[in-house]
Amino acid sequence: MKVINLGQTDSILNKFVAQLRDKKVQKDSMRFRRNLERIGEIFGYEISKVLNYSEKQFTTPLGIATIPTYDDKVVVATILRAGLPLHQGILNYFDDAQNAFVAAYRKYDKGEDFHINIEYSSTPDLTGKTLILADTMLATGASLEIAYRKLCEDGEPAHTHLVCPISSAYAVEYLQKNLPADKVTLWVAAIDEELTSHSYIVPGLGDAGDLAFGKKK
């Protein structure tokens, strides 16, 4: 699995990530959501560079313009609920894409032990398509792997781009071991080295879903 860390290159992306992490800025949920959306737009633009292109002709009022545009049939997917603003940012650039959604979350069994529970998924046929699967945080990698495999029950994508702005080093290694090496690319903006015994990323940013949409029960 190829890993592309956009945060290693100086760009405006790092400013948006810094604001996501800043506990003072986090008090403004609208700013938090907007930053996620803008980060999604940046990832969408970067992913567009690695798609398959061919030249096509377009009629203007004065003649014919030949322009290379991408040929991939794109499906933009996300894990509810924290991934929604990120999803929207990617969709802003792939506005003709189909969409897919997975509701996956940690279900605690006893103490701090948990398993990943999926209650809902909705997806078009993915056969031969380019899947962009987005989630804000990648802690252990388990929920993203399960969501990916759930979506692939409806056809195998030609290639999958995983978009996870903040990931733990543990999750990167986990996905490299458990997902197809030649058919998956992981895009991140930061890789944090520490993952606590409760599977929280440090320094991380906290609970992205709560910060974007308010605390849940």
Compute the mean pLDDT over every residue in the chain, rounded to the nearest whole number.
92
User: How does residue 105 score in pLDDT terms, banded at 50, 70 and 90?
Assistant: low
Write down the pLDDT at residue 143: 87
What are the backbone dihedrals phi and psi of residue 71, each rounded to the nearest 5 degrees, phi first?
Answer: -100, -15
User: How does residue 199 score in pLDDT terms, banded at 50, 70 and 90?
Assistant: confident
pTM comes to: 0.92
DSSP 35-64: HHHHHHHHHHHHHHTTS-EEEEEEE-SSSE
pLDDT in tens, 137-176: 999 998 899 899 999 998 999 999 999 999 999 999 999 9
CATH of 2-47+71-213, one of 3.40.50.300, 1.10.3720.10, 3.40.50.80, 3.40.50.2020: 3.40.50.2020
Q: Select the more confidently predicted residue: 12 or 114.
A: 12
- Domain regions of the chain by residue span: 2-47+71-213
Q: Are the C-beta atoms of 143 and 104 separated by less than 8 Å?
A: yes
Write down the pLDDT at residue 157: 97
